[in-house]
Amino acid sequence: MKGRGKLLFSLLSLLLVVLITAPLWVLPVVGAILPGNSHENDYTAAIVDKYDRLNGVKGKKIVFVGGSSLPFGLKCELIESELPDYTAVDFGLYASLGTVVMMDLSLSGISEGDIVILAPETDPQLYSDFFTPRLFRTAIGDRTDLLASLSPARRRKTALAYYPVLFDRLRERNDLPVPDSETYARSSLNEYGDMALTRKRNQMPDGFDASKTVTLNVLLDRGFFDEVNAYAKKVREKGATLLFWFPPINEAAVRFSDKEATRFAKELADALDCPILGDVRDTVYEPGYFYDTNYHLNDDGAVMHTATTIKKIKDYLGLDPTVAFYVPPAPEYGYSGEITTDGTFLFQGPSSDGEAYALYGVEDGVRAALTDVTIPATYNGLPVRDILSECFMGCKNMTSLTIPESVIALGSDVFVGCGKLTAIKLKGTSPFGLPDEDAFMGASPSLKIYYPRTAGNAYTGGYTWPNYQSLLAPYDP
């Protein structure tokens, strides 16, 4: 009996060891058995590339740490041309990973003489100790060595996410990888970690995302400042310098006054144990410089923000704060043409680039009669590219909507008052831009959004679309 008890104790101990160590060895095995079930092409998987580059660069570095406003807003090649004594490292990726995780990971590659610039988006989520263990565990894939760089508390939380991630990999084993042509894909970033995809104009129908306006009085999280100050101490211990900086902010999304900005600057200076490069107003730019969110810049915007950042760094270093490269003006964007009709739909355009129309709304006389609706892909020989805000507001009998592949952006409050809308069918394999929050507010609680199965996990693994994952379902075209 005694021997049987010892055997049971040994078996239970062995099982406990297996369960504890499983996150370190089972996923690589599963990944080898099910190679088609990998998220290795996802945008977030670029964290591995950024980590490797940061740890592989020799000599003095300028390391930018934060969210996705960094890859969309920096041109590291220009930074190196203006500050040739440093190698520029873009260590920003995805807000939902969390600022604190990026700080944790960056410490492994920081060394003496480096300048570290922490520039989180001015959003309560980023100015906090928020992070998503499950997303991080999915992003690193089989690279379990990155777990060692996390704080002990975040490492424990990530370990708890192991089994949900394993289940996801088994459940999604038949999904296709994100196509390389997608904006939000690992392959969209260049060797610096900057966004390499060409981004010519502001894609947001209203010029900004109305669901994510920028206020400052919600950013004073004491716990976050404690995290930053602890990080600053570790950076100094490595012989490097931490500077705090701001992301690009869409002027149209600003909801703070000069007085509030001045007060915020003082509160930051009192709370942070590191120098602040400038003022939050320094990085407020015209809407024409932005791309698909209030923090993501287009190509011209990235040049503008890079120039602003370089000037601030040079000023901090006591150098001449001018730049030698040309900073372009903000591109035109949006729709200023007259509103016309095809008898059912209202259109505005052509667009400022002359290449498309926007769906503006629905004729009042047919609004109540619409049930199964298909948006035309073209109007007057040009593609219908954007669905403007409040477009279908009050279409109370609309039950289904088909959106053509030509559409690349959806405005805010499009479906308010569409309580019978239970099905949206998407024709395109590339996810179009959405408001960050409440994009489908006003539709039926039982709404389902159907996307082509041939899109793989482009929707479920994209940028804003995962916020609506519970609504998504694939269909066979």
- Which H or E run includes 9? helix 2-33
User: Is the Cβ–Cβ distance between 91 and 193 less than 8 Å?
Assistant: yes
- Rounded to the nearest 10 degrees, the angle between the axes of helix 99-106 and helix 152-160 is 120
Burial label, 185 (beta-carbon count in 10 A; 0-12, 13-18, 19+): buried
Across 182-191, 201-210, 237-246, 460-469, which has the greatest mean pLDDT? 237-246
Supply the DSSP symbol for 287.
Answer: G
Cα-Cα-Cα-Cα torsion 373, 464, 432, 355, nearest 10 degrees, comes to 120
What distance in Å separates the CA atoms of residue 179 and residue 184, rounded to the nearest whole number? 9
Tens of pLDDT, residues 281-306: 999 999 999 999 999 999 999 999 99
Q: What tokens were used for 47?
A: 């964290």
Strand 400-403 relative to strand 372-374: parallel, antiparallel, unpaired?
parallel
Q: Which has more pLDDT, 172 or 440?
A: 440
pLDDT of residue 179: 47
Can you tell me the mean pLDDT for 424-450? 94
| Single-letter code of the amino acid located at 43 | Y
pLDDT of residue 366: 94
Which residues lie below 8 Å from residue 126, measured CB to CB, with a gap of 6+?
Answer: 66, 67, 95, 98, 99, 120
User: Is the Cβ–Cβ distance between 240 and 146 less than 8 Å?
Assistant: no
Strand 61-66 relative to strand 87-92: parallel, antiparallel, unpaired?
parallel
The whole-model pTM stands at: 0.88
What phi-psi label fits residue 47: left (phi over 0), alpha (psi between -120 and 50 degrees) or beta?
alpha
Return the beta strands (E) in 7-158 as ranges.
Answer: 61-66, 87-92, 115-119
User: Is the Cβ–Cβ distance between 327 and 308 less than 8 Å?
Assistant: no
Does position 144 have pLDDT exceeding 70, yes or no? yes
Domains in the chain, start-ordered, CATH in brackets? 43-317 (3.40.50), 339-475 (3.80.10.10)
User: Is the Cβ–Cβ distance between 471 and 449 less than 8 Å?
Assistant: yes
Helical ranges in 250-298 per DSSP H:
258-271
Across 229-243, 428-442, 450-464, which has the greatest mean pLDDT? 229-243
| Single-letter code of the amino acid located at 107 | L
pLDDT level of residue 11 (50, 70, 90 thresholds) = confident
Nearest to 289 by CA among 260, 257, 330, 233: 330
Nearest to 294 by CA among 174, 410, 435, 137: 435
Query: Which SS3 state, helix, strand or coil, does residue 92 take?
Result: strand
Nearest to 68 by CA among 95, 105, 100: 95
What φ, ψ does residue 55 adopt, rounded to 5°?
-85, -10
What distance in Å separates the CA atoms of residue 231 and residue 476, rounded to the nearest whole number? 49
Q: What tokens were used for 49?
A: 């590339």
Across the chain, what does the average pLDDT equal?
A: 91
Q: Which has more pLDDT, 433 or 339?
A: 339
What distance in Å separates the CA atoms of residue 323 and residue 313, rounded to the nearest whole number? 11
Can you tell me the mean pLDDT for 189-218? 94
Which residues lie below 8 Å from residue 120, measured CB to CB, with a gap of 6+?
Answer: 66, 67, 99, 126, 127, 247
Cα-Cα-Cα-Cα torsion 274, 277, 282, 283, nearest 10 degrees, comes to -80
Which residues lie below 8 Å from residue 378, measured CB to CB, with a gap of 6+?
Answer: 384, 406
Can you tell me the mean pLDDT for 96-116? 97
What distance in Å separates the CA atoms of residue 146 and residue 106, rounded to the nearest whole number? 10
User: Is the Cβ–Cβ distance between 97 and 125 less than 8 Å?
Assistant: no
Does position 27 have pLDDT exceeding 60, yes or no? no
Tens of pLDDT, residues 406-426: 999 999 999 999 999 999 999
pLDDT of residue 199: 94
What distance in Å separates the CA atoms of residue 249 and residue 213, rounded to the nearest whole number? 10
pLDDT of residue 227: 98
Tens of pLDDT, residues 239-260: 999 999 999 999 999 999 999 9
Nearest to 117 by CA among 89, 93, 142: 89
Nearest to 468 by CA among 427, 434, 426: 434
Helical ranges in 238-370 per DSSP H:
258-271, 299-317, 364-367
Strand 382-387 relative to strand 409-410: parallel, antiparallel, unpaired?
parallel
